[in-house]
A and B are shown apart, each in its own frame.
Chain A
Amino acid sequence: MPRARDARLEARLSPADFDTISHAAAAQGLSRTAFVVQAAMDAAHKLLRDQQLTTIAVAHGESFMEWLDRPAEVLSNMKPLVDAPVLPHR
């Protein structure tokens, strides 16, 4: 289903930043608007994905799974949290 593109986003920026964006957009053969929207969407998707997922390189997968499977142990550094005052919830 086609999505209407009727929302607007405006920004004020320095002439230097404007020039940098213009050059980068031209280098990619995109209009400034298309470039800015694409860059912002890429950043937004990455940020949202990072909030939902942590990706581990395959090279570390095995050691990570081994660590996960090890028997439970006391985290001595965490003891101050055990001893911290209990905050009531309301």
Chain B
Amino acid sequence: MSLYVTRLGGDHDRTRFDCGRPSLDDWFRHQASQADRKQGSARVFVLVDDEIEEGRLPLGYYAVCGHAVLFEELPEDVRKGQPPQHPVAAVLLARLAIDGPLQRDPVRRLGETLLADVVRQVIQANDHVATPLLVVDALDEQAANFYKRYGFVELPQKPLRLVARLKDIRKTFRLD
């Protein structure tokens, strides 16, 4: 078994991908290529295995894009001359999914492995373009709990949108 990650390409067979969450499956099958190649609104990476259909069958995927956290704009009479808050730049992990049969593989823990890859890639990007936050979009409470297990915390009043500071991530990975 020879797992690796690569950017989604036209030769990847997405038609059989089934993580059990229709919105993640449908987006991957029908929208992912357009988002990455045509619109440039997200980068989509797939987890494949050289020994399974010569690396053409995605076993998992994730999609990341630029993001910003900002505060609701206060009306001028409440703000009383205070400047508006600037948005805080972030990377958004918009989607992460593992194909069904592999989700409960207790040995390889592919969800954890793929999340680690996301974090490592975001750290690398952060070496070149500083972004204070990594935000993740959880599909539901179960997914949110998955991210919480690794130290992500809920944004205020947004239980399905979680966040970690890049400076904490870098320190955890002993980079700073």
The answer to whether A56 and B113 touch across the interface, beta carbons within 8 angstroms, is no
The answer to whether A57 and B4 touch across the interface, beta carbons within 8 angstroms, is no
B-side contacts of A13, CB under 8 Å: none
Give CA–CA (A84, B3) in the complex, Å: 13
B91-128, CB < 8 A from A: 92, 94, 109, 112-117, 119-120
Q: Which residue of A lies closest to B119 (CB)?
A: A81
Q: Is B142 interfacial (CB 8 A cutoff)? A: no
The answer to whether A54 and B67 touch across the interface, beta carbons within 8 angstroms, is yes
Q: Identify which of B69, B117, B155 contacts A87 (C-beta below 8 A).
A: B117
The answer to whether A54 and B158 touch across the interface, beta carbons within 8 angstroms, is yes
B135-176, CB < 8 A from A: 135, 137, 148-151, 155-158, 161, 164-165, 167-174, 176
A-side contacts of B112, CB under 8 Å: 80-81, 84
Q: Identify which of B135, B161, B172 contacts A79 (C-beta below 8 A).
A: B172
A24-83, CB < 8 A from B: 51-58, 60-61, 63-65, 67-68, 72-82
Task: Please report whether the interface of chain B is mostly helix, strand, loop or mixed according to DSSP.
Answer: mixed
Q: Identify which of A57, A82, A87 contacts B113 (C-beta below 8 A).
A: A87
Give CA–CA (A5, B132) in the complex, Å: 42
B32 CB to nearest chain A CB (Å): 14
Q: Is A15 interfacial (CB 8 A cutoff)? A: no
* Residue interface mask B50-70, A partner, CB < 8 A = 1: 000000000000000111111
The answer to whether B72 and A55 touch across the interface, beta carbons within 8 angstroms, is yes
A-side contacts of B74, CB under 8 Å: 58
The answer to whether B69 and A53 touch across the interface, beta carbons within 8 angstroms, is yes
The answer to whether A80 and B150 touch across the interface, beta carbons within 8 angstroms, is yes
B-side contacts of A12, CB under 8 Å: none
Give CA–CA (A79, B151) in the complex, Å: 9
Q: Which residue of A lies closest to B55 (CB)?
A: A90
The answer to whether B157 and A68 touch across the interface, beta carbons within 8 angstroms, is no
A-side contacts of B151, CB under 8 Å: 75-78
The answer to whether A56 and B69 touch across the interface, beta carbons within 8 angstroms, is yes
The answer to whether A72 and B72 touch across the interface, beta carbons within 8 angstroms, is no
Q: Is B15 interfacial (CB 8 A cutoff)? A: no
Q: Which residue of B lies closest to A63 (CB)?
A: B156
Give CA–CA (A60, B88) in the complex, Å: 14
Closest 6 pairs (CB-CB, A-B): A75-B151, A84-B116, A60-B156, A77-B151, A72-B167, A81-B116
| Contacts beyond the supplied A52-B67, A58-B71, A60-B157: 4 A-B pairs with Cβ under 8 Å | A56-B157, A64-B155, A74-B168, A82-B174
